[in-house]
A and B are shown apart, each in its own frame.
Chain A
């Protein structure tokens, strides 16, 4: 299929629009419920991260599904400050409740549930891509 793209304002409530865009694109390909939920969560994590930390005004998302392999690729592009969330150290998920902090948990979750994640800075833009086999 041809890649599809959408551009939204960098505002938290726009996350729902992105989720709806991706779900309607994937639906005809009958993705597994588990993969769908994981992609939805990844969208929430990556998009909210960009909105809160990049300073960008808009975010463009390019979605592509490779039909032979069922690998779904979603790239978030923004003109904000250079920001690579993958440089952050993984949180210690074994700490007891009183010592637990929440920082970094979202991207950690994305790294664990997606098949691959990739960050690149080019032409003064951040490119953050997630890859997930949807069935």
Chain B
């Protein structure tokens, strides 16, 4: 998985490409945790993301809990296959999908 980071003041956009699974989820968690300080908006761009497994959901949940305390988090460009995973697991109610 590739993670493209764009920081604009207190907004961080993470564009993910490939697969967010057991192998790659820890990388994403590291990037999120390393950038949390002073962050008021965390945007995930899923345009090039192929799929998310539960290991990826765990990272998204943890990021959402942290951003609830200091700002907002949004997920954009979610494809139908990933949307189904978010719907089944109830994550479409937890996350802000734009």
What is the interface of chain A mostly: helix, strand, loop, or mixed?
helix
* Cβ contacts under 8 Å, B51 to chain A: 37, 40-41
* Cβ contacts under 8 Å, A93 to chain B: 88-90
- Count A-side interface residues using an 8 Å CB cutoff: 28
Whether the Cβ atoms of A102 and B61 lie closer than 8 Å is yes
* Cβ contacts under 8 Å, A96 to chain B: 94
Would you give the 0/1 interface string for B33-72, flagging 1 where the beta carbon is closer than 8 Å to chain A?
Answer: 0000000000000000011111101100100110010000
B21 to chain A, nearest CB (A): 4
What is the interface of chain B mostly: helix, strand, loop, or mixed?
helix
* Cβ contacts under 8 Å, B64 to chain A: 97
In the assembled complex, A100 has its CB within 8 A of some CB on chain B? yes
Chain A residues at the B interface, C-beta cutoff of 8 Å? 12-13, 15-16, 33-34, 37-38, 40-41, 44-45, 47-48, 93-98, 100, 102, 105-106, 108-109, 112-113
